[in-house]
Amino acid sequence: MKICMVGQGAFAKKHLEGLKRIRDAEVISIFGRTAETTEAVAQKYGIPHWTTNFDEALARPGLEAVILTSPTQVHAAQAIKCMRAGKHVEIEIPIADSLADAERIHAVQKETGLLAMGGHTRRFNPSHQWIHKKIKAGELKLQHLVVQTFFYRRMNMNAEGKPRSWTDHLLWHHACHTVDLFHYQTGEVASEACAMQGPMHPELKIAMDMSIQMKVPSGILCTLALSFNNNGPLGTWFRYICDNGTYIARYDELVDGYEKPVDVSKVDVSLDGIELQDREFIAAIQQKREPNASVAQVMPAMRVLDRLERTMK
């Protein structure tokens, strides 16, 4: 599977680390907006071709698929361009920062018949997979998903501590993880959803704090708190309050309500959720099937995000 990586930042590197462990994956090109950093990443990961020209990257001989880790604001245009060029595409979360753009991506996917997948890593983290399998087997019944997403982003910096050329968003990026995961774990779509946001940052023009509540028709609740003001441990913690135990997922790690580790080493072939996400992308292309976290499957989350945004306006 000959792949082009779009982006050269922290998340592109996470994908490249995972792809090194996938036998069927070969990254033949990397596209970035800055020549120096793009070339450096290409050299580090042994990628034979790099470019700052997107059309040149898409025209590489034998290219079959593209992974987008570019700024959210260009996801829709780039994803559509990939599919118009006949390439399958995996779009890092969120697939877009508006419902209209998400619908445009979905429409082109249906028109072209190519595979388009959202980078909804929580579906693939072994911790969340372990919970999902227990729910599907009837061994757990979720009652309340309580989530904290806390970062310190008072300046426009990325995960590597470098200045960002674009602005991140609590709702369309970070809340998207939880909204989709809530749907995935319950097998339902939120029938009730509301949100409140705190003051807007004077320069970034985004809300730095947010509170979201959701409920699915069966009555299961989700409570999500998000902040870019948190000066402390960073990341997202998912507390699954179930009828038969409480579990806390921290990315690929899982503990019970008393912080006792839960062994998730046998859940899948890797403990790296991003690697597992990329394995699904490649396998779905090879097997000519819809992937887990296809654009069609994540559209309900995009619609709920749109509803939430409207409640805050």
Q: Each residue of 269-307: pLDDT tens digit? A: 999 999 999 999 999 999 999 999 999 999 999 999 999
pLDDT of residue 157 exceeding 70: no
* pLDDT 10s digits, 169-199: 899 999 999 999 999 999 999 999 999 999 9
What is the predicted pLDDT for the residue at 88? Answer: 98
Q: What is the mean predicted confidence (pLDDT) over 101-125?
A: 98
What is the predicted pLDDT for the residue at 168? Answer: 81
Q: What is the mean predicted confidence (pLDDT) over 155-171?
A: 70
CA–CA dist 194, 182 (Å, integer) = 15
Domain 2-121+274-293: which CATH class?
A: alpha beta
Lowest mean pLDDT among 70-74, 147-151, 192-196, 202-206: 202-206
* 2-121+274-293 and 122-270+300-312, same CATH topology: no
Residue 161's pLDDT band (boundaries 50, 70, 90)? low
pLDDT of residue 158 exceeding 90: no
- CA-nearest of 232, 229, 269, 274 to 251 is 274
What is the predicted pLDDT for the residue at 205? Answer: 85
- CA-nearest of 39, 10, 40, 34 to 160 is 10
Q: What is the mean predicted confidence (pLDDT) over 159-164?
A: 63
CA–CA dist 144, 213 (Å, integer) = 11
CA–CA dist 122, 180 (Å, integer) = 9
Q: What is the mean predicted confidence (pLDDT) over 71-79?
A: 97
What is the predicted pLDDT for the residue at 153? Answer: 77
What is the predicted pLDDT for the residue at 213? Answer: 98
Residue 31's pLDDT band (boundaries 50, 70, 90)? very high
What is the predicted pLDDT for the residue at 203? Answer: 85
Render 165-190 in DSSP notation, one character per residue. SS---IIIIIIHHHHHHHHHHHTS--
pLDDT of residue 164 exceeding 70: no
CA–CA dist 201, 299 (Å, integer) = 29
What is the predicted pLDDT for the residue at 21? Answer: 98
* Torsion angle (degrees, nearest 10) of CA 13, 14, 19, 20: 70
What is the predicted pLDDT for the residue at 313? Answer: 83
Lowest mean pLDDT among 2-6, 7-11, 143-147: 7-11
Q: How much is the mean pLDDT over the chain?
A: 95
Residue 148 structure tokens? 């904290």
All structural domains of the chain with their residue ranges: 2-121+274-293, 122-270+300-312
pLDDT of residue 165 exceeding 70: no
Matching CATH number, 122-270+300-312, of 3.30.360.10, 3.40.50.300, 3.30.1380.20, 3.40.640.10? 3.30.360.10
What is the predicted pLDDT for the residue at 32? Answer: 97
CA–CA dist 284, 252 (Å, integer) = 22
